[in-house]
A and B are shown apart, each in its own frame.
Chain A
Amino acid sequence: DAKTTQPTSMDCAEGRAANLPCNHSTISGNEYVYWYRQIHSQGPQYIIHGLKNNETNEMASLIITEDRKSSTLILPHATLRDTAVYYCIVRVPQNQGGKLIFGQGTELSVKP
């Protein structure tokens, strides 16, 4: 079973920051948090991942709370093309297969 809970849906205005929350209260110390997104009828696209520290790349920022029980994905300037389902995933440890188990995700709608 997925170890994360996310809101079912969110709206964001174009050009504004989109902040997508994720709860993973049962995360273990060696489990990474991954974020992917899926645009309709395509394969998921990798966004970012992290363990303890906040991370930033060209797509997004990932803020992980100090207790690691929750995280937030930030899209700094959302565009219409960012409309997608966003999945927050706690990856199974490598020595247990390293699987990505998907939850239901958050359907983000970016509106003009």
Chain B
Amino acid sequence: GAVVSQHPSRVICKSGTSVKIECRSLDFQATTMFWYRQFPKQSLMLMATSNEGSKATYEQGVEKDKFLINHASLTLSTLTVTSAHPEDSSFYICSARDRGGFTEAFFGQGTRLTVV
């Protein structure tokens, strides 16, 4: 299957700082990328849909000013957690789908964020 790479895989940051997570599609062009968050022993929760060249669409209850998403190219989307707090500690996962839109979405390996 296609490869989606996230970076970093783990990050620890101090409360009040911002953290950027990158999601890259390595061998295909992704017009759409999705960002999820997963707390321990829970399922994945969709945060937002990122479309190349346009503003992201956020799910209800997700603060767009806190979770900044940029999808500047067909192979890269970034999620920035601004002014992070301990409650933002979670497993963040991106997925990307080929520009065709009728295929499966592939997921990155996830980023474990710990805010101390």
Q: Which residues of A contact B (CB under 8 A)?
A: 34, 36, 38, 41-46, 49, 87, 94, 97-105
Find chain B residues with CB under 8 A from A103 CB.
43
Q: Is there an interface contact between B44 and A44, defined as CB atoms closer than 8 Å?
A: yes
Interface residues on B, range: 20 to 34
Q: Besides the contacts A38-B44, A45-B107, A102-B36, what 20 more A-B pairs have beta carbons closer than 8 Å? A: A41-B91, A41-B110, A42-B109, A43-B93, A43-B108, A44-B93, A44-B107, A46-B1, A46-B107, A49-B104, A87-B44, A94-B101, A99-B34, A99-B46, A99-B49, A100-B34, A100-B46, A101-B46, A103-B43, A104-B43
Interface of B is mostly: strand
Q: Which residues of B contact A (CB under 8 A)?
A: 1, 4, 6, 32, 34, 36, 43-46, 49, 57, 91, 93, 95, 97, 101-102, 104-110, 112
Q: Is there an interface contact between B109 and A43, defined as CB atoms closer than 8 Å?
A: yes
Find chain A residues with CB under 8 A from B46 CB.
99-102
C-alpha gap A102/B42 in the complex (Å): 10
C-alpha gap A49/B112 in the complex (Å): 28
Most buried by B among A34, A42, A103, A104: A42
Find chain B residues with CB under 8 A from A46 CB.
1, 104-107
Find chain B residues with CB under 8 A from A104 CB.
43
Find chain A residues with CB under 8 A from B102 CB.
94
